[in-house]
Structure 1
Amino acid sequence: MIIDNRGLEPPKPMMRTLKALDKMNSGESLTIINDRRPMFLYEELNERGYLHETEPQEDGSFKIIITKTGD
């Protein structure tokens, strides 16, 4: 699943992302695209033990791949 959060003001991208993750099963991945690095989201993902990888994009946005671990 891919969620494009570009153009949204905080905290909407984080809320949309966490809502989607809550519906996913352990081991599934979610890709989000944000206008900026989601620093507060990183803290939440680390707290929950989710794996994440950030790839800066040529247009200045960031693609973040999140893998849900545990449940």
Structure 2
Amino acid sequence: MILDNRGLEPPQPMMRTLAALETLPDHEVLTIINDRRPMFLYEQLEELGYNQRTEQQDDGSFKIEIFR
């Protein structure tokens, strides 16, 4: 599942991401694309028991893979 959050103002990207995680099946990966590094999201993911991998893209956006 890919969620493109580019062009959205905070806190919309984080809200959309957390809502998508509620329906994410076990062992699936949610990939989000954000305009900026989601610093506040990392805290939430840790509390919810998720891991993440973040890669900055050539265009300056960030691709974050979220999984358990």
Aligned to 2:27: 27
Instruction: Please give the root-mean-square deviation of Cα atoms over the aligned residues, in Å.
Output: 0.7
Question: Structure 1 segments of 4 or more deviating over 3 A?
Answer: none
Cα deviation, residue 26, structure 1: 2.1
- Following the alignment from structure 1 to structure 2, what is the Cα–Cα distance between the partners of residues 51 and 26? 13
1:29-70 deviations in whole A, cap 9, x for unaligned?
A: 100000000000000001111010000000000000001x3x
Instruction: State the shift of 1:14 in Å.
Output: 0.3
| TM-score in terms of structure 2 length | 0.96
| Corresponding position of 1:44 | 44
Instruction: For 1:35 and 1:3, locate their aligned partners in 2 and report how far apart those are by CA, in whole Å.
Output: 12
**TM-score, normalization: structure 1?**
0.92
How many residue pairs get aligned? The number is 68
Identity of aligned residues (%): 69
